[in-house]
Every structure is written in C-alpha cells, then in structure tokens.
Amino acid sequence: MKKFVLLVTALIVMPGLAMAANTPPPLQNAGGLPAPKVLVINRQAILQSSKVGQDIGRQVQAYASQAKADMDAQGKALQAEGQALQQQIAILAPDVKQKKIDAFQAKEAGLQATAQKREAEIQGGLLSAQSSVENVLGPILQGIMAQRGANLILDKNAVVFANTSAFDITQTAIDQLNQKMSSLKVTLQMPPAGGPQAPQQPGAGR
C-alpha cells in the first residue's frame, strides 16, 4: 500500500488578468477608445498576506495534515493485514484463499477512494473559501480603480517588464481587505461538477 501523500497548496492563485472599470475615463485615443490607465496587483500576495488568506491557509494545512495522518494510520494497518495474509496463503484452500485476496484488494481500493475523496473535499473547501474572498475583493479593487481613474488592473505576474512601483496597489488592497474580513471558515465539500475550478474573478467581463 503506497503511503498516502496529500499535496495541497496553501493558496491557489485565481486566474484572470484584467478587469474593466465601470466608468472609463474621458481621455480617448484616435480610435475613440478610452486610453488605458493601468494599475497592478500581486493577487498571490493578496491571498497569502491578507488576514483572511492566512486564516484560510492555516485551516487548509490543518485539514491536509489530519488527512495524511488518518490515511497513514489506515495504510499501516492494511499493510500489516496484507503481511499476515501472505503468511496464511500457503495453507489455505484455493477457494478460501481467493476470497481473502479479493477482500483484501477491496479494502485497498476503498482506502484509496477515501484518500481521493478527502483530498477533493479539501480542494473544494479551499475553492469555495477563495470564491467568498473574491466576492469581497472585487468591489475593493473596483473602488480603488474609481479613486485613481484607472480602467485596467493587471496581475503583476502577467507584466513582462515595467516600473510597477508607482502603479502597484497590492498593499492598498490588502489593507482594505483586512478591514472587511479577517477570517473565514473553510468547510470541507466536494468541488463543482466537472472537477475543481477556480471561481470567476469578480468584475471580469464587465
């Protein structure tokens, strides 16, 4: 029985690179489109450094550690059972031997299924919690955009080269998010049908 190893990242970086402003600035280019005024954020830093992000990370790590401990304990017990079965096989009647082997293999499959389900539930809980954070973070970013007359926010990881210090609103977003929420309960649940999906970035496509 392979040792159960659960790898859950503390936080998942949400996809999405830009958000349109609700009200574009009046300045326009020759084609009649608003001239871009860009702000930059480090979304990973927001999710990792904010109070609520750190709280979510602690809970996810605790769930992962507990799951690993549970699976390791059950795995060792099953391994011991398998070793005992190997010692018995030589003296068992063929029909009895096959039944015991089938039962043992069913236990192995059941343990593997349990491990996969637990991992999926942790992932689902993480995605749900981050979706809730995004629902709060989206209006915060839109408010900062309005205050600064911007019409585009880029994730820092998507910027190839730029002097972003003057446009970086990461810390401002963290400070405002901390004021809105400092903790959030992560509840184990299965991810959405079709597999784990990152929640849609608030404000995207507007």
- Digit-coded pLDDT (tens) for 39-57: 999 999 999 999 999 999 9
pLDDT band, very low/low/confident/very high, at 173 (cuts 50, 70, 90): very high
Is the pLDDT at 139 greater than 50? The verdict is yes
Confirm if 39 and 150 have CB atoms less than 8 A apart. Answer: yes
pLDDT band, very low/low/confident/very high, at 31 (cuts 50, 70, 90): low
Return the CA Rg of the chain: 25
Q: Please list the residues that pair with 155 across neighbouring strands.
A: 41
Q: Which residue has the tokens 């408010």?
A: 143
Is the pLDDT at 156 greater than 80? The verdict is yes
**Mean pLDDT score of the chain:** 81
Higher pLDDT, 205 or 113: 113
Higher pLDDT, 156 or 3: 156
Is the pLDDT at 154 greater than 50? The verdict is yes
